[in-house]
Structure 1
Amino acid sequence: MRARQRRWMSKTAMADSMVLTAIVLAIIYWALEALLNIFAPSEISFYRNILGPNVGDMSMRIIALCLFLIFGSHVQFTINQRNRAEQGLRESEEKYRNILETIEEGYYEVDQQGRFVFVNDATSRFLGVPKADLLGRNIREFLNGDSDQKLAATFASCLASGRPVKAFDCELRQQEAARFIEASVALRRANGGAAIGFRGMLRDRTEKKKLELDLLESYRKLQNARAATILGLAKLAEYRDEGTGTHLERIREYARLLAEEMAARPGAGEAIDPDFVEEIYQSSILHDIGKVGIPDAVLLKPSGLTAAEFEVIKCHTRFGGDALAAI
């Protein structure tokens, strides 16, 4: 819309300059003719001067009159066009403002210092301040410390690159329960293209953020329950064979050391991250869970095992795998 405005204003300026040039030429023409009439014979009557002493003079005056009529009509046409364009612009701005006032998302415009120059009703509701009282106040005073710094950095980045920032989360500074919004930032430009501030949308993310926090809390509880389940299952093997207690602790520590060593190797960063190392640490103690399926006569035999008994002992890994696969 602004590009069409600039093109129309350029055409209007050109037309105005043409009108001005024509008027100046007409004035020069009449001035020269009046100057020549000073030296005309005195017996020429007033009406003769008006009509012209000959057909050539009459033609020139008719041409000049036509030029005045043509350019006068052009002036009137230009004025009408300008009035219609201004009316259309006012209607477009009114429609634009009405849309902004009816949407659920907040819309804001600030100068380069972050002071509000325009807000819609939704922004006023988000911030809990009447629209009239928001104008002139800095948007950063409504954000908490971390979000304040994040917005300042986003403004600086947007101004330096000229590219809009799609969405980032901010926390509002409010006395009641915490409120979170998702904000976007883009440059505001003058007609000449120079940056004069920022504009963007605000979306209420409080409920979504609450769901995310609840999900994280549920995940934490699930992890704790899982760790307790693993420990409980490992205790089964410990109860069957008292000697496995310290063995399980040694295995767990040894498994973590191995996982950390593997994670430090080149190319293993994505496959073996800290979460994976923790999984290995927690789950390694389950390797003996299958011993609950080994007969006591074999598992607790104080003397050496026969070849057949040793084969039975080796089955504990398969028993453990089958048990864990069902969980």
Structure 2
Amino acid sequence: MSQVQQLSSPYIFEETRLLFYQRTLICLWLAVVFFPLFSILDYAYCNEYFSRFLLYRLIYVIILLAFINLLKQQTFKKLAPYLMYLAMVLGSLVISKMAVELGGFSSGYYVGILLMIAGALFVLPLSAATALFYGLSMYGVYLATVLTTLGLPEQNQIHFAVSNSFFFLSLVGIVATQSYDDLHTLHNQLRAKENIRKIHYKLSAYTDGLEETIQQRLIELQETDLKYQDLYNNIMDMVVLVDDEGIIHQFNNNCRTLLGIAEKELEGKNIRQLLRHEREKTDWLTHIILQLRGNLPLRSIQLNLVNILGEPLEVELSASRIEINHAPYFQLILRDISIQKSIERKLLDAERLIGTSRQAAIFGLARLAECRDDETGQHLSRIRSYTRILTEELASSHEYGPLIDDRFIDEIGYSAVLHDIGKVGIPDSILMKPGKLTEVEFELMKQHTIFGANVLAAADHGKENSSFLQLGRDIARSHHERWDSRGYPDGLPGDEIPLAARIISLADVYDALTSNRVYKPPFSHEESRAIIVRESGRQFDPHVVNAFLRRENDFKETRMRLLLQQPEPARNGS
């Protein structure tokens, strides 16, 4: 944290420290929820160790609750970085202890430490160096625990040790890079907020009560042009007096200064000539005059002007109708907001960057689950692309158009890649089995739908507004349901299956059919199409199948484009 203090203003440092404290509490609470929850994995994968592992988990949860209680006290808030680091190291130690009891390097339980790294370090506002230190410390705990307990790995354990180390170090590198980007984006956003606050104070100092004074003076002095001059020449905004046709009759000094136009050139000029966009030249003055003739004052209309050099000038317009010598005129007050709009655009860019970072984090978590069964990002990219094609087509259909809006289309894109997140709870012996699964193994494989739904439901718990995780929970649980109610885990029929799950179901099956598997070569598009059509009304929603048929050329083009980018290794399907 000292590095942040040296490179940032006091405001940015304090805001970053407060954000770290708040997110530390969130991470600790999530650990309190998830750590016992993964006892389900203990029960399914290593039932004989269930009681002992549950004791380890509960002891760790009690320690976390003690940390949370400490942080709630004002005196201990500054200890958030140290307690967070200690919590992560202790969590790594507990998971490493379980891995040792399950075989050391050959145990897949080390993935729990990877989830801690991905879940916490993607959220905390850390510098790249700090993220590396956290991640490498956790890796060091794992390595030291296994080596000191079991000694150097035997010949059959070496490739597990190398593979685990590769995943550890790769994820730590990704987290460090993402932390650098996130912290840089956060500081830019805070600097923009600080600048807006300073500008707001300056504008308030300049214009406090000024607009009300102007209106009062205009009422008192509307019978004579001469009485306006002092007011015009001392106001910080541009003040322009125009007639019904938009011809300029009077203006203040600041108007000439900002526009860079000489007095003799400005007087008698039509104000439409100063507007930047053709649409505004024809529409805006007519609209203003119609309202002002009815004595309706206008406020906060934004326009784009140009100065003498052709440079853009963004302004905010307030206007009112006045009479001079019984003739109607229109008083326009134009406030220069170019700096404010520039800052707003920078803030929007920062928000878009944050959104991009969030998508990268989601995709990274999904790939973390997929990497256990040799899946690659190409599968996730195809699923997301197929899903968007289907959803956009259904949005224009009579049946589902009213149910699908832009938010649904965006969120199903985020959620689609999480459909198999529950596979982190399936043993490697099943997930990586090259041959056909037995009935018992297949029943356990089915549990990945429930594991995934539970994990996403816990992550979304307590939020006031629904998020893409709620959609992800429906997809994770129900993407293996069938239209004829013969699917799993709930045997839902027809429309009772969430719409998002019905869409993902077809996209996932199409990708499985057209991809290489250990038990089959890839089917052609035509063969896959025939299978999907045959299963319409049985496995798939007929409306979703019809949408697929209308856009099948897009499926073919997307599949070929992504396959050319990177070949995908075979994997065991579920």
Common fold by TM > 0.5: yes
Q: Any conservation in 2 of the 1:183–1:203 contact (CA below 8 Å)?
A: yes
Q: Which residue of 1 aligns with 2:426?
A: 294
SS at match of 2:261: coil
Q: Which residue of 1 aligns with 2:356?
A: 224
Closer, same or farther in 2 for the Cα pair 1:273/1:312, shift >3 Å?
closer
Q: Any conservation in 2 of the 1:262–1:268 contact (CA below 8 Å)?
A: yes
Q: Any conservation in 2 of the 1:181–1:205 contact (CA below 8 Å)?
A: yes
Q: Which residue of 1 aligns with 2:344?
A: 212
CA deviation after TM superposition for structure 1 residue 285, in Å:
0.9
User: In 2, distance between residues paired with 1:106 and 1:202?
Assistant: 5
Q: Any conservation in 2 of the 1:169–1:182 contact (CA below 8 Å)?
A: yes
Q: Is the counterpart of residue 184 in structure 1 residue 318 in structure 2?
A: yes
User: In 1, distance between residues paired with 2:279 and 2:323?
Assistant: 24
Q: Any conservation in 2 of the 1:291–1:320 contact (CA below 8 Å)?
A: no
User: In 2, distance between residues paired with 1:158 and 1:321?
Assistant: 52
Q: Which residue of 2 aligns with 1:143?
A: 275
Q: Any conservation in 1 of the 2:317–2:333 contact (CA below 8 Å)?
A: yes
Question: Deviation digits for residues 158-191 of structure 1, max 9, x if unmatched?
Answer: 3345244433222222437632111234445455
CA deviation after TM superposition for structure 1 residue 321, in Å:
1.2
Q: Is the counterpart of residue 172 in structure 1 residue 305 in structure 2?
A: yes
The structure having more radius of gyration, on CA atoms, is 1
User: In 2, distance between residues paired with 1:90 and 1:185?
Assistant: 15
The TM-score normalised by the length of structure 1 is 0.58
User: In 2, distance between residues paired with 1:187 and 1:173?
Assistant: 25
Q: Is the counterpart of residue 118 in structure 1 residue 250 in structure 2?
A: yes
SS at match of 1:286: coil
Q: Any conservation in 2 of the 1:287–1:320 contact (CA below 8 Å)?
A: no
Following superposition of structure 1 onto structure 2, how do residues 238-249 of structure 1 map, counting pairs within 5 Å? 238-242=370-374, 248=380
SS at match of 1:118: strand
Q: Between Structure 1 and Structure 2, which shows a larger proportion of strand residues? A: 1
Q: Which residue of 1 aligns with 2:282?
A: 152
Closer, same or farther in 2 for the Cα pair 1:322/1:247, shift >3 Å?
same
Aligned residues between the structures:
235
Q: Which amino acid aligns with 1:296?
A: D
The TM-score normalised by the length of structure 2 is 0.35
Q: Is the counterpart of residue 309 in structure 1 residue 444 in structure 2?
A: yes
SS at match of 1:150: helix
- Aligned CA RMSD, in angstroms, stands at 3.7
Ranges in structure 2 where 5+ consecutive residues have no aligned partner: 1-219, 462-468, 470-574
User: In 1, distance between residues paired with 2:360 and 2:221?
Assistant: 69
Ranges in structure 1 where 5+ consecutive residues have no aligned partner: 1-87
User: In 1, distance between residues paired with 2:325 and 2:302?
Assistant: 31
User: In 1, distance between residues paired with 2:241 and 2:392?
Assistant: 52
CA deviation after TM superposition for structure 1 residue 126, in Å:
2.1
Closer, same or farther in 2 for the Cα pair 1:190/1:298, shift >3 Å?
same
User: In 2, distance between residues paired with 1:120 and 1:313?
Assistant: 72
CA deviation after TM superposition for structure 1 residue 104, in Å:
1.6
Q: Is the counterpart of residue 261 in structure 1 residue 391 in structure 2?
A: no
User: In 1, distance between residues paired with 2:380 and 2:221?
Assistant: 79
Q: Any conservation in 2 of the 1:171–1:180 contact (CA below 8 Å)?
A: yes
Q: Which amino acid aligns with 2:256?
A: S
SS at match of 1:137: coil
Q: Any conservation in 2 of the 1:100–1:120 contact (CA below 8 Å)?
A: yes
Question: Deviation digits for residues 122-147 of structure 1, max 9, x if unmatched?
Answer: 22222122445421222222222x1x
User: In 2, distance between residues paired with 1:139 and 1:260?
Assistant: 47
CA deviation after TM superposition for structure 1 residue 200, in Å:
1.0
User: In 2, distance between residues paired with 1:245 and 1:91?
Assistant: 74
CA deviation after TM superposition for structure 1 residue 248, in Å:
4.0
CA deviation after TM superposition for structure 1 residue 266, in Å:
8.9
Closer, same or farther in 2 for the Cα pair 1:320/1:202, shift >3 Å?
same
Q: Which residue of 2 aligns with 1:321?
A: 456
Following superposition of structure 1 onto structure 2, how do residues 72-151 of structure 1 map, counting pairs within 5 Å? 96-144=228-276, 146=277, 148-151=278-281
SS at match of 2:314: strand
Deviates more, 1:116-125 or 1:250-259: 250-259
Question: Deviation digits for residues 199-235 of structure 1, max 9, x if unmatched?
Answer: 2110011111101110121122222222222222222
User: In 1, distance between residues paired with 2:265 and 2:452?
Assistant: 71
User: In 1, distance between residues paired with 2:395 and 2:416?
Assistant: 16
User: In 1, distance between residues paired with 2:222 and 2:454?
Assistant: 80
SS at match of 2:419: helix
Deviates more, 1:204-213 or 1:274-283: 274-283
CA deviation after TM superposition for structure 1 residue 280, in Å:
1.3
User: In 2, distance between residues paired with 1:311 and 1:266?
Assistant: 31
Q: Which amino acid aligns with 2:417?
A: I
SS at match of 1:201: strand
CA deviation after TM superposition for structure 1 residue 91, in Å:
11
Q: Any conservation in 1 of the 2:426–2:444 contact (CA below 8 Å)?
A: no
CA deviation after TM superposition for structure 1 residue 119, in Å:
0.4
Q: Which amino acid aligns with 2:364?
A: G
User: In 2, distance between residues paired with 1:91 and 1:157?
Assistant: 26
CA deviation after TM superposition for structure 1 residue 308, in Å:
6.0
